Chain A
Amino acid sequence: MQYFEVLGLAPRLSLDLKDLEKRFYAKSRELHPDRFARAPQAEQQRALELSSLLNDAYRTLREPIARAEYVLKNSGFDIGEQRSKDVPPELLEEVFELNMALEEADRPQIEAAGVRFEKLRAEIDQELATRFGQWDQAAETGTLAQIRGLLNRRRYIENLLRDVNVHLSN
């Protein structure tokens, strides 16, 4: 996986962000255009390309969710088009109920839902961290499937929180 390689890392889901930042700065200096001012054209071009890859890599890997999506995509998981099978029925039920509440615009209910969904998101993030560690120990496809399920849930909840905030600001 290119993004990890360019930063000199093995593919890992749990990363030390301080270390990641250090690696990013060190590599950026290595690839700085000033150092290639007198180098042949082809080498300058190569440094520029690597530098752009490095930026993309750092931007993606420093965000745990983007990092997990990157690993999933490069492990043969399609994270774009998804079917409802990947979402637990209780969550759909809950999402449906919240949407009903939002439609009826009952403010206290919306506020309570906002709090509940923030808590749910925090729980998901905690479970994601556990699964990340698990995958780093033994890179099993089953673990990635669980991670994808968690990311789906998380996206639903993010959307709901966005709706909650829209309703509360009206």
Chain B
Amino acid sequence: MAYSDKVVDHYNNPRNVGSMDKADPNVGTGMVGAPECGDVMKLQIKVNPATHIIEDAKFKTFGCGSAIASSSLATEWLKGKTVDEALDIKNTDIVNELALPPVKIHCSVLAEDAIKAAISDYKAKSTVETAVTA
């Protein structure tokens, strides 16, 4: 099966690979996986607490080319968005952008799950933080 040029590009030059401090209150971490293919994806966002804008995003994915490309693209899209705007990113957007074939759609679903997980981790942390300081 041939990968699209965009998948190959993200696979060969993945954007924003790395990790951030999980303990940082402004960092949200999403760890997701797909048992049938053994993929694991970690996606992190760093949010400016005053503006709710995602200032940085990092990922590390162990999986196929499409899973790596999906999460790489997700980090590109996340940067500069507010947390609420980021929640609007749909797996179908990723499918369209990367021209993923039907058998690889679950990779985009995984990336969407990772975004949602990172945001909900950040939100859970920032609520606790606010409660403590209030």
Contacts and interface: CB of A to CB of B under 8 A. Distances in A.
Interface of A: 80-84, 86-87, 89, 91-93, 95-96, 99-100, 103, 152-153, 155-156, 159-160, 163
Contacts of A83: 34, 109, 113
A16 to B, nearest CB: 30
B38 A92 contact: no
Contacts of B109: 83
Nearest to B106: A81
B31 interface: yes
Interface residues of B, number: 17
Given A84-B32, A92-B33, A155-B36, 6 more contacts: A81-B106, A82-B35, A95-B33, A99-B40, A103-B62, A156-B38
Interface of B: 31-38, 40, 42, 60, 62, 106, 109-110, 113, 117
Contacts of B36: 80-82, 155
Contacts of A100: 60
Q: Taking chain A's interface residues, is the majority helix, strand, or loop, or is none over half, making it mixed? A: helix
Nearest to B63: A99
B77 to A, nearest CB: 20
A92 B37 CA distance: 13
B38 A84 contact: no
A149 to B, nearest CB: 10
Contacts of A92: 31-33, 40
A21 B31 CA distance: 44
A140 B58 CA distance: 43
15 contacts: A81-B106, A82-B34, A83-B113, A84-B33, A86-B35, A92-B31, A92-B32, A92-B33, A92-B40, A95-B38, A96-B40, A99-B62, A155-B35, A155-B38, A163-B38
